[in-house]
Chains A and B, each alone.
Chain A
Amino acid sequence: MKLEHLRKDEAIRYLGYGENKPDDNILNLLDACERELLQVIVPEYIYKIFDIEKIDREKEKVTFKDCALELTGKDITAHLKGCERAVFMACTVSAGVDKLLRITQLKDMTKAFVMDSLASAAIEQVCDMAQEEIMKNTKGYGTWRFSCGYGDLPIECQKLFVTVLDAQKRIGLNVTESYLLTPTKSVTAVFGLSKEKIEKKRLGCESCNMKDKCEFRKRGERCGS
């Protein structure tokens, strides 16, 4: 996988501009950040497909065949409804990005802030490309991606999620004691696979931890997922 361009329009949204156009100065910074990021980004992803053993609506729990990880909560139970299999995936833009962000913060905070948003856009881009590649090699229909810590799926499942994928060995992805992924611009996610066409439910704002103070929502927009 190789990234040719980064989604600057996404980064502009993350920066809080909404529908407004940034001035030339910020647009120049975005160009510079894109060039520098593309030099250090090493996109990596890994995935495993598990058969769903049981979706237990009552206990709000999904179990998988030959897998020690159970996913709990009503949101993930609803999300995987109607699926026979699930893809566990992990993506990262790798540790070089963290270092570049550290250096840039010392040199120019505005640029660092712009770069941070662009790096966030980049990891989403990697996830989209990864999911697309996976779906190309896989039969059936896929749901949206759902991550540890979304809705009532506990973030504590992050550690086992990474272990199940052997992501530390395979793509250099680690989890801190407070369940944050490192390198920091990384994502783990699960999506369901179904033989039948399924209605792609949006991840409603209701299941989002940020719903009470989301700037996108205040403006009547969505953050993207």
Chain B
Amino acid sequence: MVLKNLLENKEFIILDGAMGTMLQANGLEAGGIPEELSITRPELLKKIHRSYIEAGSDLIYANTFGANSYKLEESKYSVEEIVSEAIKVAKEAARGTDTLVALDIGPIGQLLEPTGSLSFEEAYEIFSRTVKAGKDADVIVFETMTDLYELKAGLLAAKENSNKPVICTMTFEQNMRTFIGCEVSSMALTLEGLGADAIGINCSLGPAELEPVVKELSKWTTLPIVVKPNAGLPDPETNLYNVTPVQFAEQMKNLVKYGVKIFGGCCGTTPDFIRETVNILKSERYVKNCPEIPSAVCTPSTTVVIDSPRIIGERINPTGKKVFKAALINHDIDYILSQAIEQTEAGAEILDVNVGLPDINEKEMMITAIKAIQGVTDVPLQIDSTVPEVLENALRIYNGKPIVNSVNGEKKSIEAVLPLVKKYGAAVVGLTLDENGIPKKAEDRVEIAKRILDAALKIGIRKEDVYIDCLTLTASAEQEGVMETVKALYRVKHELGLKTVLGVSNISFGLPNRELINSTFLSVALANGLDLPIINPNIPAMSGAVRAFRLLSNADKNSEEYISIYGGEPNAPQPKKIVKDENMTLDHAIEKGLRAECTRITEALLENMDSMDVVNNEIIPALDIAGTRFEKGEIFLPQLIQTAGAAQACFEVIKQKLAKSGDNRVSKGKIILATVKGDIHDIGKNIVKVLLENYGYQVIDLGRDVDYQKVVDAAIENDVHLVGLSALMTTTLDSMEKTIELLRKNNVDCKIMVGGAVLTPEYAMKIGADFYAKDAKESVDIAKKVLG
């Protein structure tokens, strides 16, 4: 019997109930390793499995929930020993029956980046090891997952290291989200896309409390739905659950109508719960669930349904942007992130990410950029590259369901890109061009769109996941082509019934008052059926046109969104007004932390003053005064940082001016900063960074939890002579010592300064640092000493 047969032949599939509850009842102490019992007390395990089989389970979970290399670190048994024994014991219990045995996989026990320190790739490796060890199981189950990213790593590991069917269940709270903030819709879109065989919900609540979650799930998936709830809610003191087996079964029966096919029990349930559930379901019929799932993309916390025009932000793209190019070359990820945040705050609902530049490793940069961006925004991403290898690597590490930008009508492109879209469950942009270029006539572009759609359907990509770009031509060069694009768009939308996407800004290239042309063209395109305009959302006329269209097309019901943005918020608390002073000097503006003033005054100063004079005679002295006052205890750290932030505004003006003239004098030298391996508290390091940058140093920020070798490599590669290391916890001081050791061993010609809450000057010297910085201000003094 395999799972497929069960799904086809049985009305309902019955899972088992709790394992932990049964083990605790049999004397497992709190904090003991339950997986070891498969080896030390196999008869107990067999007894529990048999009791579930006798109660009517079709599929039992082997005792492997925590059998991963992290949780078993302190066990005397290996992952392989524990997993194979657990499955053997379960198989022996099932002998002579049709009951299947699942390799049961729970969360690793560590949070993934960016909140935790475990990388996606490490999670994949941990899961792969457990999957391989479970080769004798019939089915693979992931359960009690709260992090969709971790589950994606697991599902990929299962799919790529076995050919077994995979069931995925996640744990939701009463607010309809998991602890990590994952929505039901995002879970369904992502997991169905990645090829799970059944998906559902387990643990946390009883069947009655989970009803809204199950109902929501039924709207978002065509897969068989799994429900494995707790026996109600636990009493915090006694840890006993409040639902009886009969009540549990009644509540489970109530979930049949949502298309649930697979039923089981989690914490607090026993064979009696399963038996009652089997009994009650005997008189029920499976209700196949077949909702119409809309075009939608997602991150774990946000699902964007393309049921009205949605703004795709175009700004993460180096084409024609000097500052962006420089940021890519200098690995300045914070710059890219600030672009992401600026656009989402301006109204972008999806962000296009393009980091292609001839001189950089696009694959590495794309992975770094996507990981960083998804740590700070909730909006889905559109992965923009012409290189299939870059697309695949980005698709792997993307958290949710993205858009791939793009495939085109060429055979080569279709064959390289569409299988990736299918494997990773993404949506895709199809460009209406092929080996012969962009057709002049609308009907030929519609023809290519059709070709792309057919190829997509053939390999199982849903029609709803194909978005067509009919390609904007520049009005100044091909004026007669503008309306052909609009015509093609209209036909793709209304004849082929596909969603449409269009890069709008190119239309005005080479013309004056580009904004006027862009916003007018945007309105025309929207009226003809554009769903996904790719625009610069920071320009109010552009995002405004989309919002106005949503209102006029009756998508923004009661003009709610429009009014919330343009109607003012009378109830929002107003910050105290700071009186604007025309005679204010730069040092005063810096001291008071007035960024806007700093920008204005710096611009004015630069009209008659050399950039470096502004830096050396105006900005640095003002910072020095603040530094001295901080040391004397007259001002406090927040004010010092504020001063630095204001100076940053000055530097931005100066940098822009210098970038225009190709001058790079502003840098006083390069400094590497890193929060050491194992440490994830990086606010201290970031404060130091702001201060150093505003004294004119170029900071190469390696981030947090940084490998020893990475520091060495970066120092050598960038010829850096001052390295700053930060550690907050006593447990990570050891990493600091090891980083210093490795720098010294490699004879890196650099001074090392260290800082962090638990560090002392004595300890700093003991581990071989050159300087101990007691606070952010002192790191500046050290930099002056070392680099001048």
Chain A interface residues (CB < 8 Å from chain B): 15-17, 20, 22-26, 28-29, 31-32, 35, 42, 44, 46-50, 66-69, 94-96, 98-99, 101-103, 105-110, 112-114, 116, 137-138, 149, 155, 160, 163-164, 168-169, 171-172, 174-180, 182-184, 209-210, 212-213
Contacts and interface: CB of A to CB of B under 8 A. Distances in A.
A193 to B, nearest CB: 12
A58 B116 CA distance: 38
B236 interface: yes
A47 B683 CA distance: 30
B110 interface: yes
Contacts, number: 167
Contacts of A98: 114-115
Given A68-B29, A106-B337, 10 more contacts: A44-B179, A95-B115, A103-B377, A106-B341, A109-B645, A112-B686, A164-B30, A171-B179, A176-B680, A180-B729
A68 B31 contact: yes
Contact of A68 (B30, B146, B181): B30
A35 B575 CA distance: 13
Interface of B: 29-32, 70, 107, 109-111, 114-118, 144, 146, 171, 175, 178-181, 203, 236-237, 239, 334, 337-338, 341, 375-377, 573, 575-576, 592-593, 636-639, 641-642, 644-645, 678-681, 683, 686-687, 690, 729-732, 735, 757-758, 760
A47 B236 CA distance: 7
A102 B29 contact: no
B730 A175 contact: no
B116 A174 contact: yes
A201 to B, nearest CB: 23
Given A110-B641, A112-B683, A172-B179, A155 B730 contact: yes
Nearest to B735: A178
Contacts of B144: 169
B56 to A, nearest CB: 26
By Cβ-Cβ distance, the 5 closest A-B pairs, closest first, are: A172-B179, A68-B31, A178-B678, A164-B31, A110-B642
B637 A16 contact: yes
A99 B375 contact: yes
Most chain A C-beta atoms within 10 Å of own C-beta, residue among B175, B178, B337, B377 = B337
A26 B181 contact: no
B639 A68 contact: no
Given A28-B575, A169-B144, A209 B730 contact: yes
Contacts of B178: 172
B31 A178 contact: no
A72 to B, nearest CB: 15
A101 B114 CA distance: 12
Contact of B146 (A22, A24, A26, A172): A172
B430 to A, nearest CB: 34
B638 A176 contact: no
A105 B683 contact: yes
Nearest to A29: B638
B639 A23 contact: yes
Contacts of B575: 28, 32
B636 A16 contact: yes
A179 B334 CA distance: 28
A178 B686 contact: no
A66 B573 contact: no
A35 B569 CA distance: 15
9 contacts: A26-B638, A103-B377, A155-B729, A164-B31, A169-B144, A172-B180, A176-B111, A176-B117, A178-B735
A209 B334 contact: no
A180 to B, nearest CB: 6
A50 to B, nearest CB: 8
A94 B146 CA distance: 12
Contacts of B729: 155, 178-180
A151 B146 CA distance: 34
Given A48-B239, A95-B181, A178-B678, A106 B334 contact: yes
B758 A209 contact: yes
Contacts of A174: 109-111, 116
Contacts of B681: 180, 184
A180 B758 CA distance: 14
Contacts of B732: 178
Contacts of B180: 95, 172
B31 A114 contact: no
A214 to B, nearest CB: 10
A150 to B, nearest CB: 11
B738 to A, nearest CB: 12
Contact of B730 (A42, A67, A149): A149
Nearest to B689: A109
A102 B237 CA distance: 36
B270 to A, nearest CB: 18
Given A106-B334, A176-B680, A210-B757, A67 B30 contact: yes
Nearest to A161: B31
A180 B575 CA distance: 37
Most chain A C-beta atoms within 10 Å of own C-beta, residue among B70, B116, B180 = B116
Given A66-B30, A168-B109, A180-B679, A49 B237 contact: yes
Contacts of A42: 175
A78 B743 CA distance: 43
Contacts of A175: 109-110
A69 B117 CA distance: 25
Contacts of B203: 169
B758 A184 contact: no
A150 B499 CA distance: 58
Nearest to A46: B236
A182 B680 contact: yes
A110 B645 contact: yes
A105 B687 CA distance: 9
Contacts of B735: 178
A109 B685 CA distance: 11
A101 B683 contact: yes
